[in-house]
Amino acid sequence: MRQLNDLAGTGKLPSDLPERPPAPSGGPKGIAQQAGVKHVIAVMSGKGGVGKSLTAGLLAVGLRRRGMSVGVLDADITGPSIPRMFGVREKPGVVPNTQTLRPPMSKTGIPIMSMNLILPSEEEAVIWRGPMVSGAIRQFFSDVAWGDLDYMIVDLPPGTSDAPLTVMQALPVDGVVLVTTPQALATMVVTKAVRLVKQLGGDILGVVENMSYVSAPDGTRMEVFGPSQGLKLVIASNAPLLAKLPIDPRIAELADSGGIEDYEAPEFDELITNFLAVAPRAAATPGVPAHAHSH
Ligand SMILES: Nc1ncnc2c1ncn2[C@@H]1O[C@H](COP(=O)(O)OP(=O)(O)O)[C@@H](O)[C@H]1O
Ligand SMILES: [Mg+2]
């Protein structure tokens, strides 16, 4: 990682580079392999700061709570925020005699891989060009000992740049969850993401509208960012609205202090129920025999 940072700074390859490992079968442009991961779900948005990482984190926490095995791949290489949300600081270990990393585990047993866990400090900046970012994302998927996962949740950086493109093209993504806020701008930008996913032949599973409203102590709902735009996005994406999450000071507090796994709210429950209604089914779901759900 240090060498790659030097490369980004100087444009010169370090002289003592280790020998390049043989390309995996399928060649370097093929879809990355990870035998134990049943379903890969990408969380995407057009705009930053709309709660994409929060949604990715909540999906993982909620699915784990319902007994499934879940991992989180933080594909936001230059602005990683998953480790802080889960309070994970431990560096990944190396699986003995391999070039594979062992991802640190969250409190409730969610393996997490993020650039933040590799950097010497959380404040360190990653100034990388697109191809390096893409390479890191591929390695986070295929060179990490993820084990058996029903769902891998991939948190993307905002927009439709190299990183989302890499994830959609190089990882075996089963479906995309789109996140937006009620602001018209956010809705407009996320429709670009809709187009990207559709152009790549991806499947949009559903839409989450975050920061939809604030509940006042007397129970009234204030729509801080204006009336819901969720319906527009549902029409544009032809996918269902999975949840309208309120602005909740507890979310901000827990996400900042590494306590996201303690969050409880009816809207959160609803998000998971609705997600499971549209998500590709994990064959290992208790009571559901494998291949019972033919599409
Ligand atoms: N519904 C919400 N209520 C309160 N704070 C929120 C909510 N959604 C997101 N936040 C906070 O807003 C900030 C941005 O959210 P984040 O998930 O990092 O956005 P993104 O990944 O889309 O850039 C974070 O500090 C997060 O804790
Ligand atoms: Mg984020």
CATH code assigned at 252: 3.40.50.300
pLDDT at site 28: 44
Cβ atoms of residues 207 and 239 within 8 Å: yes
pLDDT at site 121: 81
In a domain, 113, yes or no: yes
For residue 272, give the nearest of 98, 9, 67 by alpha carbon. Answer: 67
pLDDT at site 160: 76
Task: State the closest ligand 1 atom to the C-alpha of 49, by its place in the atom list counted from 1.
Answer: 23
In a domain, 147, yes or no: yes
Question: CA–CA separation, 275 vs 59, rounded Å?
Answer: 8
Report the chain (295 residues): mean pLDDT per 10 consecutive residues.
67 64 50 90 90 97 98 94 96 91 97 93 80 90 96 91 86 94 79 86 92 91 84 84 94 96 96 95 52 46
Please list, in sequence order, all residues whose beta carbon lies within 8 angstroms of the beta carbon of residue 20, skipping any fewer than 6 positions away: none
Residues, Cβ < 5 Å to ion ligand 2: 52-53, 81
In a domain, 26, yes or no: no
pLDDT at site 64: 98
Which ligand approaches the C-alpha of residue 85 most closely? 1
**Which is it for the CA torsion 291, 177, 272, 86, positive or negative?**
positive
**Helix, strand, coil share (%) of the chain residues, nearest 5:** 35, 15, 50
In a domain, 232, yes or no: yes
pLDDT at site 20: 56
For residue 8, give the nearest of 122, 115, 133, 137 by alpha carbon. Answer: 133
Ligand 1 pocket, mutate which of 54, 161, 228, 250 (most atoms under 8 A from CB): 54
In a domain, 289, yes or no: no
In a domain, 42, yes or no: yes
In a domain, 83, yes or no: yes
For residue 52, give the nearest of 204, 144, 159, 166 by alpha carbon. Answer: 159
Tokens of 234: 């549902």
**Domain range for residue 63?**
2-14+35-276
**Which is it for the CA torsion 167, 171, 176, 179, positive or negative?**
negative
pTM comes to 0.86
pLDDT at site 293: 47
Number of domains in the chain: 1
What distance in angstroms lies between residue 54's CA and the mean position of ligand 1's atoms? Answer: 6
Cβ atoms of residues 180 and 187 within 8 Å: yes
Bridge pairing between strands 149-155 and 70-74? parallel
pLDDT at site 252: 94
In a domain, 287, yes or no: no
pLDDT at site 236: 82
Question: CA–CA separation, 178 vs 45, rounded Å?
Answer: 5
Bridge pairing between strands 101-102 and 93-94? antiparallel
pLDDT at site 12: 66
Largest Cα–Cα distance in the chain? 66
Residues in contact with ligand 1 (CB, 6 Å cut-off)? 45, 48-54, 81, 158, 210-211, 245, 247-248, 251-252, 255
